Amino acid sequence: MEHLPIFLDIKSKPCLVVGGGPIALRKLDNLRRAGAQVIVVAPTLSEEFRARIEQAEIRFHARTFTDSDIDGMRLVIAATDDRDVNRRIAELANARNIPVNVADQPEDCTFIMPSVIDRSPVVVAVSTGSASPVLARMIRARLESLVPAGYGRLAELCADYRDKVKARFEQQRDRRRFWDRVLQGGVAERIFSGHLEEAKVAMERELESGTRPSTGEVYLVGAGPGDPDLLTFRALRLMQQADVVVYDRLVAKPIIDMVRRDAEHIYVGKQRNQHTMRQEEINRLLARLAKEGHRVLRLKGGDPFIFGRGGEEIDTLAAEGVPFQVVPGITAANGCACYGGIPLTHRDYAQSVTFVTGHLKDHSIDLNWPQLAQPNQTVVFYMGLVGLPQIIDKLIEHGVAPEMPVALVQQGTTHMQKVYVGTLATILAEVEHDPPQPPTLVIVGEVVRLREKLAWFNTEPDPEQGATTPILPGD
């Protein structure tokens, strides 16, 4: 490697920044975050730079650089628009063995300012050795998604327990195994989700269990409506550390492929009148796997708490004393409506939105029809395809105009997406010769009229290109 990566302690140390433009300002911000005592020398400052100095305790000298400015400094940044001045600053710093960074002049630098991911006390630095600062920033942006903000809090917890762990385990091998389990298990996840006190309780439990694996945990993760790009960062992280994945029919294959490769896969998909495993059996399966010490990923299409039976599953887990956490996902109503070019609310058309299941546990459609027939709202029916004729009849019976717009979104957000548009009076005829395939979402409301206008600006997945193509009205 061309440079030695190091971290300098410059807290309360005098550091010089020469220059008053945007590059100098970026360097100053990094020094300030590291706690440096910053001195700025520049004849003029940009407006943003001046505002920053007025807000912080920064010494500013409104003049050009002089050789004596470098005296007593622990670190120097040269960021003027004059290459000769920058080189002169570098020469002076080198003569005094002071680390110096020169903007856009790597040959004059003795150190490089990397792109930084700050999760203090955890800090990750990315550098391309001045070959391409833009590439370094792009790599940092990708790493940002992989390093949760809670890593700093996790490091602090580790520091608090370091002595206790050392006293509990005499052998370094046992300490390493303990930390591996803690940093990839329930303690870390409680930190990431903001439950610090629960994390401390879990940490004490891990210490008590010693090298024996404690009870596992269940992750109820919303996989979204189908497009893998709609997964949350937290969902991706848990998918990569699960020992077992229990998934249903609505989870798209590209999402299943993103689960840790050596994880055991258990399919528990359910279709109308055709259940691979009854819900009660799924509940007991999750509890049993966790009690065996496994990290169990319960992967559910959409959001676990919106017609996903997540509530039923955590009822059993809570009763069995099994730790669990719930990761929300983009529910089908949001994903399908967005990709279909239909806003669920709009000040001129709908001031509320109602999500309702198209069939109940006994396969009936006994709903609060007077409420669903109220004006100025959008009603979204999940699992409403089979009962669509009855839904239409009941809405019209309770006062909804036959001209009310309706949209059916088939397999929304995936390359199989198809949108059918009509009214309560015409939609059945529209789909008679080309029936939509489940899962299909039903959207009823005046907002459907906006699709023709807004769909021009929307996109849908292209199965061959892996990119996006415009959705045209009527597609």
Binding site membership for NAD(+): which residues?
Answer: 22-23, 43-44
CB contact burial 13-36 (16+ within 10 A = b; e otherwise): bbbbbbbbbeebbebbeebbebeb
Q: Could you tell me which of 181, 200, 180 has the C-alpha nearest to residue 190?
A: 200
Using CB atoms within 10 Å of the CB of residue 236, give its burial: 0 to 12 exposed, 13 to 18 middle, 19+ buried: middle
Using DSSP's 3-state secondary structure scheme, residue 110 falls into coil
CB contact burial 71-99 (16+ within 10 A = b; e otherwise): eebbbbbbbbeeeeebebbbebbeeeebb
Extract the annotated binding site for S-adenosyl-L-methionine: 225, 301-303, 306, 331-332, 383, 412
Q: Could you tell me which of 384, 387, 388 has the C-alpha nearest to residue 355?
A: 384
* Pair 10, 31: CB distance under 8 Å: yes
C-alpha to C-alpha distance for 410 and 417, rounded to whole angstroms: 5
Task: Verify whether residue 270 is a known catalytic residue.
Answer: yes
Region for residue 27 given its phi and psi (left: phi exceeds 0; alpha: psi -120 to 50; beta: otherwise): alpha
Q: Choosing from 270, 394, 418, 475, which is the catalytic residue?
A: 270
C-alpha to C-alpha distance for 233 and 230, rounded to whole angstroms: 9
Query: Which residue's structure tokens are 């893998």?
Result: 228
Token pair recorded at residue 31: 């020094």
Q: What is the DSSP string of 113-164?
A: --EEEEETTEEEEE--TTS-HHHHHHHHHHHHTTS-TTHHHHHHHHHHHHHH
Q: Choosing from 69, 108, 227, 248, which is the catalytic residue?
A: 248
SS (H, E, C) 249-310: CCCCHHHHCCCCCCCEEEECCEECCEECCCHHHHHHHHHHHHHCCCEEEEEECECCCCCCCH
Q: Could you tell me which of 252, 322, 253 has the C-alpha nearest to residue 283?
A: 322
Determine the residue type at 108.
D
Task: Verify whether residue 394 is a known catalytic residue.
Answer: no
Cα dihedral 87→89→94→99 (10° resolution): -110
Extract the annotated binding site: 22-23, 43-44, 225, 301-303, 306, 331-332, 383, 412
Active site residue ranges? 248, 270
